[in-house]
């Protein structure tokens, strides 16, 4: 696989394949992918870059130079997959668009990741993660009634990268079964639009969008975090009427409210959320957080404390399952999480994060070119 990738979406897609054993040659501009300089948090390396680029080979090329474009074309003649997320119009100017590539290399599966698609009135616009979050309405759903908020991760980039990953796998299967290599295109907007489907349908068919409710679910109640007597937040969720009955009887010790017209269905509970919250808050004001979780567990109600990132780092679901593995960096060693996909008999490649152009000389030699 050859990539001309930058930032998050495309590197996220290709790292999934590198983890499972694919050879990924990452073509970087002189000076490297600009994501290398987002921060210096991990032994002098960017936290974004080390997350997204382990187990790849770095080849530095200047794609404005004729010799380097020839080198890239030689690589593509040997590759199964080509992935790029260049700025709008850049791939076509470099003759790296799917139509041109498939004419030259019929075996190649080109994957293009764009912001707003390759056609339509927004196809030429730049699209960074938070811009796409705003355009799809996600940010308007996130936060509290008083203010909107950005989700804490690059969710549009991750959505686009995941759809690119699955599209590439589908295209490989199609080529293996039919002999035809098909190009795939994913846009960040379309990927996040898919994830926005439930609030979109709710809004279209009710006439109003779900409200911003902080940690509380906008269309299910009770489902959210509440403070216990000691000030710690406990989040719990009621998903069905059986759980609601157990919650009323075994946790609240208020079987009478099961038949209260304000609370007999989930929709009624959402409508009368404020009244219900007052009952729940009064109960939790009498209990410390440990007593709350113990009582919820006894009532078979799903619950959790609201963890910090430090809590997550030390989580027993990670440590007790050996999910942290050492990965080499240009400046040291880091602990990285194993990929979420596990395949019987296949060990994930937790290989090094490359320095800029680290593999340029060896790749050029392999292709028969003298080192630059």
For residue 232, give the CATH number of its domain.
3.30.1540.10
Domain-ending residue, one of 265, 284, 305? 305
Q: How far is residue 75's CA from residue 72's CA, in Å, rounded to a whole number?
A: 5
Same domain, 59 and 141: yes
Residue 341's pLDDT band (cuts 50, 70, 90): confident
Structure tokens at 101: 């590539």
Average pLDDT of the residues in 339-354? 92
Same domain, 327 and 247: no
Same domain, 117 and 251: no
Cβ proximity of 269 and 262 under 8 Å: yes
Q: What is the CA radius of gyration of the chain?
A: 25
DSSP H or E stretch at residue 132: helix 129-135
Mean pLDDT of the chain: 94
Q: In the block, which residue shows the tokens 């599966």?
A: 109
Cβ proximity of 166 and 341 under 8 Å: no
Structure tokens at 265: 């269905």
Its domain, for residue 231, covers 223-305
Count of CB atoms situated within 10 Å of the CB of 292: 25
Buried b (16+ CB within 10 A) or exposed e, 130-165: bbbbebbbbbebbeeeeeeeeeeebbbbbbbbbbbb
How confident is the model over 147-179, as pLDDT tens digits?
Answer: 998 899 999 999 999 999 999 999 999 999 999
Q: How many domains does the chain have?
A: 2
Residue 331's pLDDT band (cuts 50, 70, 90): confident
How confident is the model over 277-300, as pLDDT tens digits?
Answer: 999 999 999 999 999 999 999 999
Domain-ending residue, one of 254, 273, 305? 305
Same domain, 301 and 321: no
Same domain, 282 and 340: no
In a domain, 310, yes or no: no
Same domain, 192 and 239: no
- End-to-end, the C-alpha distance of the chain in Å comes to 22
Same domain, 19 and 131: yes
Question: What angle (nearest 5°) sits at the alpha carbon of residue 20, between those of residues 19 and 22?
Answer: 90
In a domain, 89, yes or no: yes
In a domain, 209, yes or no: no
Q: How far is residue 323's CA from residue 300's CA, in Å, rounded to a whole number?
A: 28
Same domain, 183 and 240: no
In a domain, 47, yes or no: yes
> Minimum mean pLDDT among 108-117, 142-151, 175-184, 315-324: which range?
142-151
How confident is the model over 211-230, as pLDDT tens digits?
Answer: 998 889 999 999 999 999 99
pLDDT at res. 372: 65
Same domain, 261 and 142: no
In a domain, 204, yes or no: no
Same domain, 179 and 278: no
Residue 346's pLDDT band (cuts 50, 70, 90): confident
Bridge partners of residue 45, in order along the sequence? 42
Question: What angle (nearest 5°) sits at the alpha carbon of residue 211, between those of residues 207 and 216?
Answer: 140
Domain-ending residue, one of 271, 305, 339? 305
DSSP annotation of 211 reads P
Same domain, 155 and 271: no
In a domain, 372, yes or no: no
Residue 55's CATH number: 3.40.50.10540
pTM of this structure: 0.91
Residue 302 has pLDDT above 90, yes or no: yes
How confident is the model over 56-85, as pLDDT tens digits?
Answer: 999 999 999 999 999 999 999 999 999 999
In a domain, 94, yes or no: yes
Same domain, 157 and 8: yes
Residue 370 has pLDDT above 90, yes or no: no
Q: How far is residue 128's CA from residue 149's CA, in Å, rounded to a whole number?
A: 16
In a domain, 153, yes or no: yes
pLDDT at res. 30: 93
């Amino acid at each position: 696989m050859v990539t001309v990738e930058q930032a998050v979406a495309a590197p996220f897609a290709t790292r999934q394949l590198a983890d499972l054993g694919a050879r990924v040659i990452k073509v970087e501009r002189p000076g490297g992918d600009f994501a290398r300089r987002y921060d210096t948090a991990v032994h002098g390396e960017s936290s974004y870059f080390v997350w997204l680029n382990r187990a790849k080979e770095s080849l530095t090329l200047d794609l404005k130079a004729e010799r380097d474009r020839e080198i890239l074309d030689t690589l593509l003649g040997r590759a199964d997959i080509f992935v790029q997320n260049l700025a709008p119009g850049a791939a076509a100017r470099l003759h790296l668009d799917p139509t041109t590539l498939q004419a030259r290399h019929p075996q190649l599966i080109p994957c293009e990741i764009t912001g707003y698609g390759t056609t339509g009135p927004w196809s030429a616009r730049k699209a960074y993660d938070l811009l796409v979050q705003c355009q799809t309405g996600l940010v308007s759903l996130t936060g509290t009634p008083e203010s909107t908020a950005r989700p804490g991760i690059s969710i549009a980039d991750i959505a686009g990268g995941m759809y690119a990953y699955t599209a590439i796998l589908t295209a490989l299967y199609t080529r293996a079964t039919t002999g035809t290599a098909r190009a795939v295109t994913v846009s960040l907007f379309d990927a996040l639009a898919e994830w926005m489907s439930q609030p979109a349908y709710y809004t279209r068919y009710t006439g109003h969008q779900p409200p911003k409710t902080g940690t509380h679910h906008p269309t299910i109640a009770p489902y959210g975090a509440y403070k216990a007597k000691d000030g710690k937040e406990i989040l719990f969720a009621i998903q069905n009427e059986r759980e609601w009955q157990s919650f009323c009887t075994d946790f609240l010790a208020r079987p009478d409210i099961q038949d209260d017209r304000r609370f007999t269905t989930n929709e009624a509970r959402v409508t009368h959320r404020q009244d219900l919250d007052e009952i729940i808050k009064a109960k939790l004001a009498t209990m410390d957080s440990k007593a709350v979780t113990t009582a919820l567990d006894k009532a078979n109600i799903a619950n959790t404390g609201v963890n910090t990132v430090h809590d997550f780092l030390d989580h027993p679901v990670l440590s007790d399952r050996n999910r942290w593995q050492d990965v080499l960096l240009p400046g040291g060693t880091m602990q990285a999480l194993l990929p979420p996909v596990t395949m019987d008999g296949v060990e994930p490649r937790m290989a090094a994060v490359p320095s800029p152009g680290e593999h340029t000389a060896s790749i050029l030699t392999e292709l028969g070119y003298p080192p630059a």
